[in-house]
Amino acid sequence: MFKKLALQLKLANEEKNKNMTSPFSEEFLTPKNKFLKDLSKKAVELYERQNDIKNFSQLVLSNPENTSHDKLVNKLFNEGVVDPFVDDKLAHLADNKKLLKDLGLLD
């Protein structure tokens, strides 16, 4: 069902980008069809929200004894990744002109 809704939204977006008039464009939609189209968009949004909540809940309720993430972070730091929580590195990043320019904070 989700695939059908996703396909319908994809087709609707493609129709908006075409130069030709489509029978599915806003001016040809009957109130019933418009309601179903809006309902389909709402259903996709609710499905995505439900999945986000489910994934977040799995993260929050995961085993607190599991420290594999600490091992991965320590491995990255040992390989030379900059630790943003060290004051010296943070000061260096704050003064980095290229980074500030990329973020749009400098002209």
pLDDT in the model for residue 23: 52
Low-confidence ranges of the chain (pLDDT < 50): none
Helices (H) and strands (E) counted in the chain, each on its own, are 5, 0
pLDDT in the model for residue 18: 57
DSSP state of 61: T
Exposure of 72 in the CB half-sphere (CA atoms within 13 A): 4
pLDDT in the model for residue 26: 56
pTM: 0.32
CB neighbour class for 27 (10 Å; exposed up to 12, middle 13-18, buried from 19):
exposed
Contact predicate 49/41, CB 8 Å = no
User: Tokens for 51?
Assistant: 């999945």
